[in-house]
C-alpha cells in the first residue's frame, strides 16, 4: 500500500499536513463492489453507496459520510460534488471526485473549485480546518500529477482505485448477490438435514 500524491506539505500547516497525508492511501481497493473496470462513474458511485459500510472501512478511521451528488449553488448555478465526507480527526470536510479514467490535469481545476465553494458555503470557519480534496481515478502518471498539483494552494491529493474484476471476467463469474443467495440456500439445506424426521 502506498501513499496518495498530495500537496499537503505546501497547503497545510505541519501537524495537520502529516495527519492528512496519513489518512489517504493509494490504491483504494473496491473489490467488494463486484463490478468491472469498464463500469462508468455513476455505476461505481451507486455501488459504493449501496456498500457504504465497506466503503467507509476502505477509506479508513475517521471518515463520516455527508452526501453524494452534494448540491452547491454558486450565483444561481448548481454544482454537484460526487462524494462529501467529514473527517472527525482532522475536523475538516473531504471532497472526493470519482473518475473512471486515467488522471487528467483538468480534474485539479474542478476539485479546486469545489474546495473553495465548500470552504465558503459549508465549512464553519471558526471550527473546521480547510477542506481537503481527493481525486480517485483509474490510473495516474506521477509526473503529470506532480505538475498539476505544483502551484495549487488548496490541499488535495490524487489516488487510484481498483475494482479487482478484470473486464474479461464480467460475464464469467457470478455476482456477489448470486453467491450470497447460493450460500443462503446451502445453509437452509443444511438446517433441513439436521432436523429430525417426523
Predicted confidence (pLDDT) at residue 123 exceeds the cutoff of 50: yes
What is the pLDDT, as a whole number, of residue 47? 85
What is the pLDDT, as a whole number, of residue 170? 47
Q: Which of residues 17 and 144 earns the better pLDDT score?
A: 144
Judged by average pLDDT, the poorest of 37-46, 66-75, 109-118 is 37-46
| Mean pLDDT to the nearest integer, 143-147 | 95
What is the pLDDT, as a whole number, of residue 152? 92
Average predicted confidence (pLDDT) for the chain: 85
What is the pLDDT, as a whole number, of residue 158? 95
Residues sharing a CB contact under 8 Å with residue 40, sequence separation 6 or more, in sequence order:
100
| Mean pLDDT to the nearest integer, 104-116 | 96
pLDDT digits (tens, 9 = 90+) for 170-196: 455 555 566 567 666 766 665 565 666
Q: Which of residues 89 and 183 earns the better pLDDT score?
A: 89
pLDDT digits (tens, 9 = 90+) for 24-66: 888 888 888 877 776 778 888 888 888 888 888 888 899 999 9
What is the pLDDT, as a whole number, of residue 67? 94
Predicted confidence (pLDDT) at residue 155 exceeds the cutoff of 90: yes
Within 10 A of 110 (CB to CB), how many other CB atoms are there?
Answer: 16
- Which of 143, 146, 120 minimizes the C-alpha distance to 131? 120
What is the pLDDT, as a whole number, of residue 127? 95
Give pTM, 2 decimals. Answer: 0.76
What is the pLDDT, as a whole number, of residue 192? 61
Highest mean pLDDT out of 1-15, 38-52, 94-108: 94-108
What is the pLDDT, as a whole number, of residue 31? 83
Amino acid at each position: 500500500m502506498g501513499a496518495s500524491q498530495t500537496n499537503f506539505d505546501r497547503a497545510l500547516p505541519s501537524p495537520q499536513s502529516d495527519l492528512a497525508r496519513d489518512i489517504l492511501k493509494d490504491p483504494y481497493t473496491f473489490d467488494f463492489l463486484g463490478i468491472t473496470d469498464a463500469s462508468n462513474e455513476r455505476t461505481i458511485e451507486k455501488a459504493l453507496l449501496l456498500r457504504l459500510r465497506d466503503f467507509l472501512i476502505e477509506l479508513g478511521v475517521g471518515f463520516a459520510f455527508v452526501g453524494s451528488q452534494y448540491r452547491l449553488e454558486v450565483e444561481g448555478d448548481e454544482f454537484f460534488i460526487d462524494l462529501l465526507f467529514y473527517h472527525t480527526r482532522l475536523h475538516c470536510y473531504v471532497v472526493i471526485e470519482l473518475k473512471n479514467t486515467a488522471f487528467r490535469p483538468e480534474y485539479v481545476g474542478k476539485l479546486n473549485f469545489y474546495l473553495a465553494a465548500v470552504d465558503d458555503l459549508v465549512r464553519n470557519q471558526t471550527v473546521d480546518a480547510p477542506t481537503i480534496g481527493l481525486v480517485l481515478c483509474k490510473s495516474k502518471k506521477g509526473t503529470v500529477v506532480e505538475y498539476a498539483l505544483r502551484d495549487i494552494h488548496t490541499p488535495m491529493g490524487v489516488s487510484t482505485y481498483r475494482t479487482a474484476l478484470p473486464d474479461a471476467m464480467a460475464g464469467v463469474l457470478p455476482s456477489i448477490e448470486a453467491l450470497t443467495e447460493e450460500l443462503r440456500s446451502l445453509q437452509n439445506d443444511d438446517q433441513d438435514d439436521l432436523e429430525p424426521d417426523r
